[in-house]
Structure 1
C-alpha cells in the first residue's frame, strides 16, 4: 500500500505542525509533560505495571506522530524494570497507527526538541522502518526485558479490524491521540470507539486530551465508563476512563483463529534457518527450547551465499506486502548476530535486471504505481546500474540498496549460539515416528537411533525432510531441487559490487568465488551435484545477459551445491497449528453455502503441534518475521501481521478453500 509522508513545518516555538490538519503534534507549552499527565498518569502507568502478574502489557495508540508518547512510555518502562527487576512483567508492547508518517529527517528534527529522551529517540531513528503499509515491529532491549513497537502504517479504520484479537482481548490501555477532533474529524468516529472496546482486555483503560462531547458520548455508547478530568495546562478538561467488561467481540473467521500455548518448554524438530530463527525468538522470551536435528544448516540453509532481498510485484499483493515487511524486520533482527563478525555477509545492494522489453515495461509500471518507498526500491537506467555493479550492465534495473548477500549456514549457527543456555541442541536425530499420547497430553518423538523424547508442544521446522514424514501427507508439499555453482572469480567480472538478479542470480566474490544459481527441478529429492545443471546455470546467465561481454567468461570448475527447498502451491509458507484435517472437513463442510447465520466452531487442531515449513527460496528474507509471529502466537502476545496475511499462512488454508468451493457431484 502506498504511504504518503506527512508535510510539516516548525513554528516559532520549534513545535512541528501538520500542514494537512493545521495542528501541532504536541503542546507548545511542554509536550512531554502533557504526555506524562494525559496518557501515562491517567492510565495509571506505571502503577499498574507494578501490580500485574502478566508477562506483557499492551498499550495501543491512535496517531503515532513524532513518537513522543512511545518514547515517554519506553523511558518509563526502563525505569520500572530497573526499580522492579523481579517483576514478572518483562515485555511492553506499544501498538500505534499512523496514516501520514514523518520522514526520517523530519522525525529526527522533531525529536531533537527533547534532549532528555535522546537515548531512546536515537534508537527509534536508527530502527525507523521503510514506510510501506502494514505492521512494522521494532524491538528494543531494556533491563531484563524488551519493548516492542508495532507501528501500523495506514488508515486506522482499515487497520484496527485487521488486528488479531486473542480470546481474552488485546489492549490494556488506550492512548486516544491524534489531531484535535475539530481538525481531524475523520478519525474520531463511532467505528473507532467500537473497535477500541472490541480489542480491549478486561479493565482496559483509556485517556485522551480532548473533552469533546461527541467523543464522550461515543465512548460511552461503546461501553466505556467515561470521566471528565482536569486537563493539561490551559485546557480545562480531558477524558479518561475504563472498560470493566469488554463486549463480546465480533467473531473473526473461526477457522483461522490462533491460540496461545501455556507450555514454557518447546521442542523444535529441524536444524535450518526456520528452526534457528524460531529458537532465537522463543529463547529471548525466556522459553526453554529443545532442538532436534540431523545436522545444523546441512540442507537448504547450507549455501555459501544467499541473496537477501524481497520479491516485490507491480501490484500491492499479499505476498509482496509480506516480503516487504519481512525484509525490513530481518535486517533489524539479524543485526545483533551480524555484529559478532562471525557471519560473512555484505549489504552491497541488489540489482534486478530488466533484460527484456517486457521486463522493462513491468519495472516502469512498478515504479509508476509508487506502492513501495524509494529507499526500498529505486529504478535505475543502464548507466546507473553499471556504476553500482562496477561491471557493464547495458539494461535498466531496480535497485534495492538495503539488500545483498548473507552466508545462511553461518547465520543459522550464530542465531543458535545467541540463544545461550536456554537452548539444548541434540544432533544426529532423524525423526522416525511422531505419536500423541492422549492420556498424558504429550507428543512422543521416536528417533531412528532408537531413542525417544516426550514433549507437550512440538514445532515441526523440518524443511524438505517433511515430505518423508506421514504427518505431512495431507498437505500439498512441493519439494524443489536447486543447484548453485561456486564459480572461480575471473578478471572480467571479479570486481562485481552488487548482487545481480534476472532469471538467476550472481553474487560478488566471497573467498575467490561467486555464487551462481539456481536451478529449479520440481519433485526431485536428489542432492548430487550435476554437470548438466551446472551448464544450465551458466546458460541461464549467458542468455539473460546476452549483451554483456563478460558473461562469455563465466566458467565452472565443478564446485557447487544442490539442496532441496520446500514450497506450497500458493508459494506461501505454512506457519501455525497443525490442523485436524478430518475434523475440519466435517466442521466446515457447508462453508460453500455462504450462510452468515451459521455458527461455526473454532478450528480443531492437533493439540500442541505446530508447523513452520515451506519457506522456499525466500527464507533469508521471511524467516525472522514468521518466527517472531509464531513465537508471539505461542506466548499469547500481539501478532505483527494482519489477519489477511495470517489467514494466507495458516496450515489449514487448503482445507478451508476446499470447503468454500461448491462440491462436485456425480450429476454435475
Structure 2
C-alpha cells in the first residue's frame, strides 16, 4: 500500500520573497508579484472584458479559470479582486470557478505570512485563509457564496488531477493560468502531457497566458493545438506567451457509458417534482429551489422524515482509511458539502445539533493500528482528526473512564428532521403529503406523475424514496436493499451522568435535540419486522457498556422499556456508495452496451443516453447525514449544466448505471 501523504511546501525567504526549497525558485517576482500576476494572467487572458460579458450572455452562467500551480494563491486573489471590481458590489450574474493544482501545498501559517506582503488584496486574502482546506490529497471544493466564487483545489500531482477533472463540455476551461516554477527548475510538470490535457479540457475559445517563453513551452502548446503569441515580459523577464485554442474541442471518452447528459438537447428546468420527503428528497428540493426552480415534493406518508431521516440524532465525521480509497474520498467530498450546508444553519439556529467534535472510541487494539497506518500513509492533518488517550477522551465526553480513540474536529451529531424542516421552509417548495406515486411518464417535454387521483407535471423529476418501494426501485434499475436499524432512547434515569459529546463505538451514542440520549443502531437484514425488540435494545446497550463503562445506570440485560426506541430502514447498495445522478435510457443501454461485446475499443461505443431530466438520489445507507448534501449538489449540476462538485472518478463510482455496466464489463452478463 503506497504512501500518498502530501509533502507540504518548505519555504525560505530572500528579501521578503518566499522561495520553494524543493525547486530553489521564487513563488513570484521580486519586483512586484501582484502586478506581475495582473499583467501576465489577467491582462493577457482579457479577463476584465470577459467577466463583464457574462451580463450580456444569459446562456453563459459560469467563467472557469484553471491554473497549474496554486502556490500562495496570489493569482486567485488577483482574479477574485478583479471579479469583485467588475461587479462593483452587485450580486454577480454568473459564477467564477477557479481550478488549481498544487503538488506541494503551503501550510496555512505560511500562506498567511506570504499574504502580508500584499495589502492591496488583504480583504481577498482573509477570504481565502478562512476556507483554505486541510492538507489532504485530492480535490477540495470551496465556496465564497457572497461573490458566487468556487475554488476547486487539487492537492497532489497535476497529472493525477487532470484525470479527475470533469471532462464534459460543462467542465470546459475558459482561461488558463499556466504558472508554476520555471521549466528548468520543474521539468516534471512541463511535459507534453500538460499541454495535451490543457487542450482536452478546453473549448474553441479558450485562452491561456504564461510567464515563460521557453521553447519547450511554446512548442508543447502549439503541438497541443494552441495558437501562441509572444509579448514583452514583466519586469526583468524578456518575453511571455499568451494565445488561444486553434481548433474545436475534441474529446475521446474513457467511459462513454458514464458520460454526462448533453445539455443542448435538454429543455430548461423551471419546475421539478421530487418524490420523497426525507433527507435526500428535501436537500435535493432545496438545492433546486435555491436556483429558482419551483419544486413540488410528493410524500406518500402523513408526515415528512418517516424513515432514518426521522431519528433523533445522526452522527457525521470523515471516513478515514489507510489507503484513502474511493469510499473515503467520496465521503470526504460529502463531508465538505455537509459542512457548507450545516455550519451556517447551526449558527443561525435553523437546525439542531452539535458539530464541536466526535470521538470514535476504540473497543479493541485494531483502531489504534488503523489510525497509525492512516496517519503515516495519508498524512491526516490534526485539524481533521487526532488520537486522544483515555484521560483526554474521558474529559471530552464527561465520564470517568472511557476507551481512547480518534477525535474528529468539526464533527458530531445533527437532528435529521430539523434539516428536512429547514429545507421545506424555502418559498419555492410545495409539500404534498399522502401522495403515493402510481406511475410516471414523459410526454410533450414534461414529466407526468400520477398519485392517486392527482396528476402532477414538471420539467424535471427526482426520485429520493429510500429502499422500501421495491417496485419503483426495480423500475429505476436501482439494486437497493433495506437494512433494518433499531435505536434505543434513554432517559435521565437510565444514566449515571450525561454524555457531553457524540461517540461511535461500533454503534453510536449521542445527545439529542430533545434533551435525552440515543444509542444504536442494529443492522438486521433481511428482517423486515417493525416491532421494537428487547434484543435490539440490549445489543445497542451492550456496545455502549463496553466503550462507556460509567455512562449507563441501567444494565443492558436489565433494560425493560421495549417501546423506548425507533425502527427505520436504511437504503443500502452492494458497494456501500449512494446512487446519485441521471437515469439512463434502459433500452438504449441494452442495445448499445449490454448486448454487445465488452471487449471492443472504447471509441466504438456510443456515449450514454438518458431519460430527459430524470434523476435519482438514493442508497445513502448509514452515512446519509454526510452524503445527501453532495448528492443534492450533483443533481443541481446536472440540471443546470455545471461542472461536477466532485472528482470525475467519484461521479462514476456513484453513477446510477454502474452496477449493470460493471457486470457487463467484467464479462459476466450474457447477451
TM-score if structure 1 supplies the norm length?
Answer: 0.92
The alignment status of 1:320 with 2:325, answered yes or no, reads: no
Cα deviation for residue 32 of structure 1 reads 1.5
- Alignment partner of 1:271 is 2:277: yes
**8 Å Cα contact 1:485-1:556 kept in structure 2:** no
Q: How far 1:665 moved relative to its partner?
A: 7.5
Corresponding residue to 2:451 among 447, 450, 469: 447
Question: Could you give the per-residue CA deviations for residues 517-565 of structure 1, whole angstroms, max 9, x where no partner exists?
Answer: 11122244554443432233222323x438x244464557443222221
Query: Structure 1 residue 120 and structure 2 residue 124: aligned?
Result: yes
CA distance 1:530–1:592, shift in 2 (3 Å)? farther
> Offset of 1:203 from its aligned partner?
0.7
Instruction: Indicate the residue corresponding to 1:365 in structure 2.
Output: 373
- The change in CA–CA distance for 1:575 and 1:397 in structure 2 (over 3 A counts) is same
Partner in structure 1 of residue 350 of structure 2: 342
Equivalent residue, structure 2, for 1:536: 539
- Aligned-pair distance for 1:593? 4.3
1:215-254 to 2 correspondences below 5 Å: 215-254=217-256
Does the CA contact (< 8 Å) of 2:598 and 2:664 recur in 1?
no
Choose the corresponding residue for 1:482, options 465, 481, 485: 485
- Aligned residue number for residue 658 of structure 1: 663
Q: Is the 8 A contact 1:496 1:509 kept in 2?
A: no
Pair 246,394 (structure 1): closer, same or farther in 2 beyond 3 Å: same
Cα distance 1:322–1:470, how it changes in 2: closer, same or farther (>3 A)?
closer
| Alignment of structure 1 residues 114-193 onto 2, 5 Å | 114-142=118-146, 146-167=148-169, 170-193=172-195
2:472 corresponds to 1:469:
yes
The offset of 1:90, in angstroms, is 1.6
Query: How many angstroms apart in 2 are the aligned matches of 1:586 and 1:507?
Result: 50
Instruction: Report the 3-state secondary structure (helix = DSSP H, G, I; strand = E; otherwise coil) of the residue aligned with 1:116.
Output: helix
Q: Which residue is equivalent to 1:331?
A: 339
Aligned to 2:159, what secondary structure does the other structure show? helix
Q: What number of residue pairs does the alignment pair up?
A: 654
User: Which whole-Å CA distance do the structure 1 matches of 2:318 and 2:119 have between them?
Assistant: 36
Q: Partners in 1 of 2:100 and 2:603 — Cα distance?
A: 34
**Shift in Å at residue 140 of structure 1?**
0.9
Change (3 A) 1:663 1:411: closer
8 Å contact from structure 2 (residues 278, 309) kept in 1: yes
Deviates more, 1:391-400 or 1:320-329: 391-400
Secondary structure of the residue aligned to 2:624 is: helix
Give the CA deviation at 1:207: 0.5
CA distance in 2, matches of 1:426, 1:492: 39
With over 3 angstroms needed to count, the CA separation of the structure-2 counterparts of 1:264 and 1:514, relative to structure 1, is same
SS in 2 for 1:163: coil
Match of 1:355 among 334, 340, 363: 363
Please say which of residues 505-514 and 606-615 is displaced more in the overlay.
505-514
Task: For 2:608 and 2:84, locate their aligned partners in 1 and report how far apart those are by CA, in whole Å.
Answer: 39
Q: Confirm or deny: 8 A CA contact 1:262 1:635 kept in the other structure.
A: no
Residue 632 in 1 paired to residue 646 in 2?
Answer: no
Gaps of 5+ in 2: none
How far has the Cα of 1:232 moved from its partner? 1.4
Deviation at 1:414, TM superposition (A): 1.9
Alpha-carbon contact 1:198-1:246 (below 8 Å) kept:
no
- Partner of 2:72 in structure 1? 66
Task: Give 1:325 shift.
Answer: 2.6
Q: Per-residue CA shift, 1:359-395, capped at 9, x if unaligned?
A: 4433333333334323212122323322322314443
Partner residue in 2 for 1:563: 568
- 1:279-298 aligned at under 5 Å gives the runs 279-294=285-300, 295-298=303-306
Does structure 2 retain, via aligned residues, the 8 Å contact 1:270–1:293?
yes
Q: 1:118 to 1:369 in 2, by over 3 A?
A: same
TM-score by length of 2: 0.92
Change (3 A) 1:393 1:244: farther
Question: C-alpha root-mean-square deviation of aligned residues, in Å?
Answer: 2.4
Runs of 4+ aligned residues of structure 1 deviating over 6 Å after TM superposition are none
Q: Is the 8 A contact 2:578 2:627 kept in 1?
A: no
Q: Distance in 2 between matches of 1:128 and 1:415?
A: 27
| Alpha carbons of structure 1 residues 470 and 185: separation in structure 2 relative to 1, 3 Å | closer
Which moves more between the two structures, 361-370 or 179-188? 361-370
Which residue, 565, 576, 580 being the options, matches 1:575? 580
Classify 1:620/1:227 alpha carbon distance in 2 versus 1 (closer, same or farther; 3 Å): same
Give, in whole Å, the separation in 2 of the partners of 1:190 and 1:665.
41
In structure 2, what is the equivalent of residue 93 of structure 1?
Answer: 97
The CA distance in 1 between the partners of 2:475 and 2:401, in whole Å, is: 45
Q: How far apart are the structure 2 equivalents of 1:473 and 1:627? A: 18
Distance across 1 between alignment mates of 2:326 and 2:346: 29
1:430 aligns with 2:398: no
Q: 1:338 to 1:468 in 2, by over 3 A?
A: farther
How far apart, in 1, do the equivalents of 2:352 and 2:171 lie? 43
Distance 1:473 1:262 in 2: 22
Give the Cα separation in 2 of the matches to 1:3 and 1:472.
Answer: 44
1:567–1:573 CA contact under 8 A, matched in 2: yes
